[in-house]
Amino acid sequence: MKKKSKLSILNRKYKYHKTAKKNQKIFLENSKHENAVPWVEIKNLFKSLQPFNTEYDLIRLGSNFDGGYLVPNDLEGLEFSFSPGVSHEIGFDLEMSKICNHCYLADASVDKPKNLNENMTFIKKFIGNKIDPNFLKFENWVSENAPDSTDLLLQMDIEGAEYDILPTVPEKILKKFRIILIEFHDFDKVFNREKFEKIRNCLKKLEKTHIPCHIHANNTVPYVSYEKSIISPVFELTYIRKDRVKSMVINTDIPHPLDQPNTNYLQNVQEPNFWY
């Protein structure tokens, strides 16, 4: 009997197994393109995703499964939270509203959630760089609502637009955020030079001011594989600002005991280790 590959085992529980096979085929085809980014460059990029343990224990905020995040327990004194990208599940924001003075949410693709607390404000706009009535620049949104604060939290899930927004955000704005949570997308497109450069610019911008302290693969999207690396196209990364950290050690305890799969109908598989 032919031994199943690790990738096949990880993806076997996916409802759309044919999609998983198709994604893997496309991923490998992209690696063979004449102008494909060399694997050594990609592996160097992945190293910047390596999370570190700090003096802060991780705690889970938000709902079970999708919508919950692990954050460093450095929440005392946080004043405001900002959440560009809103779904039907706002359990995380509701918990933050009990911690912060005020929570700001923005998304033009959905209507105002009905269960907002009094200290939560929703605007029906996209956060981005377009000159358009439906868009608001990230730094303007933050400056208008928290002009003097340096104790903010950012939770960003904007379906790939993070690569267009974050590299353009002034460093002084990013430094306002003590904790940053981002769902990154499109890591199955890293062989494409244009996409690779966007991802790299985004990560380099963040690592100037913040340290990754947790990574969690989103298991709603099938993994892909290249050589010995199992890659999650979508994952959540938690950052903490450098000035909050006095000690840091490489974290090899992944997944964290508090991690949960994004969906409850799929196997909670072992986290890929493509950042090693």
Distance of CA 2 to the CA centre of its chain: 36
Position 220 scores a pLDDT of 84
pLDDT at 2: 47
- Beta-carbon contacts of 92 under 8 Å, excluding residues fewer than 6 positions away, are 61, 62, 63, 67, 68, 69, 83, 155
Distance of CA 158 to the CA centre of its chain: 9
CA 57 to chain centre: 19
**Per-residue pLDDT, 4:** 58
Which amino acid appears at position 245 of this protein?
A: V
Please name every residue paired with 53 in a beta bridge, in sequence order, or none if there are none.
Answer: 249
CATH number of 6-250: 3.40.50
Q: What is the CA radius of gyration of the chain?
A: 19
| d(C-alpha 59, C-alpha 167), whole Å | 28
CA–CA gap between residue 126 and residue 107 (Å, rounded): 5
Q: What is the mean pLDDT of each run of 10 residues along the chain (276 residues)?
A: 57 66 94 96 94 96 87 97 89 95 95 93 92 91 96 93 93 97 96 97 96 92 88 94 95 86 65 74
Q: What is the pLDDT of residue 130?
A: 83
CA distance 57 to 81: 20
- Integer Cα distance of 210 and 175 in angstroms: 8
Burial of 250 (C-beta count, 10 Å sphere; 0-12/13-18/19+): exposed
Peptide bond into 51 cis (omega under 30): no
How confident is the model at residue 269, as a pLDDT? 55
Cα–Cα distance for residue pair 236/146, rounded to 1 Å? 25
Helix (H) or strand (E) holding 82: strand 80-84
Query: At 145, is the secondary structure helix, strand, or coil?
Result: helix
Cβ pair 143, 153 in contact under 8 A: no
